[in-house]
């Protein structure tokens, strides 16, 4: 039983919340905890007296201290000290690509962020908040209500975590701009129309709402990947102009609005970096960029620029780009990526390779603000629970000089539950199959394309057949993964257990479906009977139903229901095609069909990879269909 002694009475309520969260996982040892503000962080533990003193310089470090106490006290450690290497450690929670996290789960996330020691939570909402003047903004998208955002802000603040609204004021507004009434401010399907007065009235409504809901006086105004500026509907009203003056003028107008509400602006830096590059190179953050020093001086210095890079593995390359940013960015934040997007399975290997280079370069370059981002591209098939192991790595780079995996494992097992790290990190191997380069830098995602590919069309069957010719047995591999994941379930509870059940079931489905198309076509070409596939398809259909049910349970546990219908239709389409494949085989076997045209077609490679399965196809539509869709 933990008790708290403190002169700061506001610590008691969040202390009770964190204690209750910990007690759901493991029994806590008896301890009287004394909280004392200090210039530096330290824990003194007296196991004989069942007492501990946590000296903390900031509010959130007290709560990180509680998780460290939970970890170190049973090990008979008596003193512990650490120092933060960055001023800010921020986490970006994606809430725009269909999955809007439920408020109670955001609370759980805030507790975990505090236990890890994060200082900031950026809530990324493209159209998933309310604009009073526009009822269609976020309509049927699970948008956060005003009282929900105020509650999230209040809870996070009690733990010492700043919630910063993260919105879009130029591009990435596809879901909002699909409604007819916004046609006058629409450049293209994704982008607002610059130099249009109504555009800035609408942005004013956005900024006004953010200013009224959050305690923080910061607002992230987005503006990344704004490729369509000046080349769409703009040309119906104006003569062509280069992108730099258009984007610079738009930025200045948005900053005027931000200043009106006395907020500090933050933006993604990619479009600035690109328009300042005198070589006009197409890639993001080119290493060979030559940024115009004259134009760099013109860029506003009163805002924070966020340099984001989710794929770089070399410290020196990060440092080159950071140095380029310092030509125009007085205040710089560097963001890395937790790779849970565009796939069913988290790519922890790539996350680990990139975060180490990212954070080491920040330490060496003196960058004081860092961020870990999560995204939900292509419908958020993966879920945010899978980001927790990598979140813990970011946190330990914040507070440790040298970071070892054994320490990170201890930390996550303490913050979340015993055995969590080992079991959760192993999910990566559903994509990082034998033959894929270690770490999966190029983001091979066979667990996605082998699940969703049509059983008869087999767009990826060429790759499966080539893989098998190399001596690999994909069906057996996934059988082994299923066994491993199910054995690990004995150590888990709650959401972590549910998540592992899903991946065990995904392994089960892949063990049956991954080679199905190859085996069916081989039998067909040989003239062998296809009758045995009828029962196999029926069993596979049942296993896919189980997978869909588990996925829905995860979604409804973590997220608001809006957005699930997208994934439900994917599962429904797959189940329907399995039924139809079964029926076609029956017709063919009964001589009602003279042939099966889909199995007559020679299989061609979808694309080239270093090995047959080392390919990345993140878009469901490109996987499941061959025609217009």
Token reading at 47: 């196991």
Residues 6+ away with beta carbon under 8 Å from 47: 73, 76, 78
Residues 6+ away with beta carbon under 8 Å from 96: 124, 125, 126, 127, 128, 172, 175, 376
Q: How confident is the model at residue 233 (pLDDT cuts 50, 70, 90)?
A: very high
| Dist. CA 548–CA 542, nearest whole Å | 10
Helices and strands per DSSP (H, E), number in the chain: 24, 13
Q: Report the alpha-carbon angle 29-31-35, nearest 5.
A: 135
Residue spans of beta strands (DSSP E) within 339-403: 369-374
For residue 453, give the DSSP letter: S
- Is the Cβ–Cβ distance between 81 and 42 less than 8 Å? yes
Of 437, 431, 408, 429, the residue nearest 420 (C-alpha): 408
End-to-end Cα, the chain, rounded Å: 58
Q: What is the pLDDT of residue 281?
A: 87
For the stretch 574-588, pLDDT in tens is: 999 999 999 999 999
User: Pairing relation of β-strands 88-94 and 51-56?
Assistant: unpaired
Query: Is residue 338 included in any domain, yes or no?
Result: yes
**End-of-domain residue from the set 19, 47, 82:** 82
CATH classification of the domain holding 34: 3.30.160.230
Q: In what order do the strands lie in the sheet with 79-82?
A: 2-5, 31-37, 51-56, 41-46, 79-82
Given a cut of 90, is residue 259 above it in pLDDT? yes
**End-of-domain residue from the set 374, 402, 430:** 402
Handedness of CA 202, 203, 204, 209 (dihedral sign): positive
Token reading at 123: 């809530």
What would the mean pLDDT of 176-199 be, rounded to a whole number? 98
Co-location of 259 and 152 in the same domain: yes
**End-of-domain residue from the set 32, 49, 82:** 82
Query: Is residue 420 included in any domain, yes or no?
Result: no
For the stretch 398-409, pLDDT in tens is: 999 999 999 999
Co-location of 227 and 281 in the same domain: yes
CATH classification of the domain holding 481: 1.20.120.670
Co-location of 362 and 504 in the same domain: no
| Dist. CA 377–CA 347, nearest whole Å | 14
CATH classification of the domain holding 113: 3.20.20.80
Given a cut of 90, is residue 282 above it in pLDDT? no
Given a cut of 90, is residue 283 above it in pLDDT? no
- Is the Cβ–Cβ distance between 66 and 93 less than 8 Å? no
| Dist. CA 89–CA 118, nearest whole Å | 5
How many CB atoms lie under 10 A from the CB of residue 142? 18
* Full residue range of the structural domain in which residue 316 is found: 88-402
Co-location of 452 and 553 in the same domain: yes
What would the mean pLDDT of 400-426 be, rounded to a whole number? 97
Q: How confident is the model at residue 529 (pLDDT cuts 50, 70, 90)?
A: very high
Q: What is the pLDDT of residue 561?
A: 98
- Residues 361/72/62/152 CA torsion (nearest 10 deg): 80
Co-location of 21 and 69 in the same domain: yes
Query: Is residue 414 included in any domain, yes or no?
Result: no
Co-location of 49 and 95 in the same domain: no
**Kind plus residue range of the DSSP H or E element containing 268:** strand 264-268
For the stretch 350-382, pLDDT in tens is: 999 999 999 999 999 999 999 999 999 999 999
Residue spans of beta strands (DSSP E) within 291-445: 304-308, 331-338, 369-374
Co-location of 461 and 367 in the same domain: no
Co-location of 569 and 610 in the same domain: yes
Q: Report the alpha-carbon angle 97-101-103, nearest 5.
A: 150
Co-location of 617 and 508 in the same domain: yes
Structural domains counted in the chain: 3
Query: Is residue 228 included in any domain, yes or no?
Result: yes
Query: Is residue 410 included in any domain, yes or no?
Result: no
Of 219, 481, 250, the residue nearest 345 (C-alpha): 481
For residue 603, give the DSSP letter: P
Q: How confident is the model at residue 22 (pLDDT cuts 50, 70, 90)?
A: very high
Given a cut of 90, is residue 30 above it in pLDDT? yes
| Dist. CA 134–CA 538, nearest whole Å | 48
Given a cut of 90, is residue 609 above it in pLDDT? no
């Amino acid at each position: 039983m933990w008790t708290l002694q403190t002169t700061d009475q506001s610590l008691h309520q969040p202390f009770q919340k964190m204690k209750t969260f910990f007690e759901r996982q493991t029994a806590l040892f008896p301890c009287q905890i004394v909280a004392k503000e200090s210039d530096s962080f330290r824990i003194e533990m007296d196991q004989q007296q069942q007492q501990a003193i946590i000296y903390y310089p900031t509010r959130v470090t007290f709560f990180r201290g509680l998780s460290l106490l939970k970890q170190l006290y049973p090990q008979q450690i008596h003193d512990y000290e650490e120092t933060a290497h960055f001023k800010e450690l921020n986490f970006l929670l994606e809430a725009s690509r269909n999955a809007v996290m439920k408020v109670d789960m955001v609370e759980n996330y805030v507790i975990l962020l505090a236990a890890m020691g994060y200082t900031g939570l950026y809530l990324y909402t493209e159209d998933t908040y309310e604009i009073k003047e526009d009822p269609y903004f976020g309509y049927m998208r699970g948008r956060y209500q005003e009282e929900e955002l105020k509650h999230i802000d209040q809870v996070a603040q009690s733990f010492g975590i700043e919630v910063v609204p993260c919105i879009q004021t130029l591009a990435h507004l596809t879901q909002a701009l699909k409604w007819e009434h916004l046609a006058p401010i629409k450049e293209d399907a994704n982008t607002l129309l610059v130099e249009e007065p109504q555009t800035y009235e609408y942005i004013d409504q956005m900024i006004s709402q953010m200013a009224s809901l959050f305690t923080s006086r910061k607002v992230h105004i987005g503006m990344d990947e704004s490729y369509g500026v000046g080349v769409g509907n703009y040309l119906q009203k104006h003569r062509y102009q280069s992108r730099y003056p258009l984007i610079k003028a738009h930025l200045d107008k948005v900053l005027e609005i931000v200043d009106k509400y006395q907020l500090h602006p933050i933006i993604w830096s990619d479009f600035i970096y690109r328009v300042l590059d005198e070589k006009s190179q197409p890639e993001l953050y080119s290493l060979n960029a030559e940024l115009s020093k004259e134009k760099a001086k013109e860029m506003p210095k009163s805002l924070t620029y966020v340099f984001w890079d989710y794929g770089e593995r070399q410290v020196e390359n990060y440092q080159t780009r950071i140095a380029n940013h310092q030509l125009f960015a007085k205040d710089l934040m560097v963001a890395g990526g937790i790779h849970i997007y565009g796939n069913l399975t988290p790519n922890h290997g790539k996350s680990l390779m990139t975060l180490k280079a990212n954070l080491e370069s920040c330490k060496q370059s003196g960058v004081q603000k860092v961020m870990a981002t999560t995204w939900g591209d292509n419908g958020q098939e993966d879920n945010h629970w899978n980001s927790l192991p990598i979140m813990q790595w970011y946190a330990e780079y914040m507070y440790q000089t040298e970071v070892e995996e054994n320490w990170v494992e201890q930390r996550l097992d303490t913050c979340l539950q015993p055995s969590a790290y080992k079991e959760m990190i192993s999910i990566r191997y559903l994509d990082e199959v034998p033959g894929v380069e270690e770490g999966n830098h190029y983001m091979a995602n066979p667990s996605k394309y082998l699940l969703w590919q049509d059983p008869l069309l087999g767009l990826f069957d060429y790759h499966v057949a080539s893989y098998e010719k190399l001596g690999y047995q994909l069906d057996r591999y996934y059988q082994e993964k299923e066994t491993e994941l199910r054995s690990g379930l004995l150590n888990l509870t709650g959401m972590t257990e549910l998540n592992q059940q899903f991946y065990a079931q995904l392994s089960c489905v892949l063990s049956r479906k991954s080679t199905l198309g190859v085996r069916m076509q081989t039998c067909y070409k040989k003239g062998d009977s296809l009758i045995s596939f009828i029962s196999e398809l029926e069993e596979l259909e049942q296993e896919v139903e189980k997978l869909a049910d588990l996925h829905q349970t995860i979604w409804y546990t973590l997220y608001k229901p809006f957005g699930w219908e997208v994934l439900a239709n994917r599962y429904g389409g797959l189940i329907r095609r399995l039924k139809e494949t079964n029926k076609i085989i029956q017709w063919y076997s009964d001589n009602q069909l003279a042939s099966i045209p889909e199995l007559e077609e020679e299989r061609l490679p979808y694309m080239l990879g270093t090995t047959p399965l080392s390919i990345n196809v993140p878009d469901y539509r490109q996987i499941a269909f061959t025609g217009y869709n």
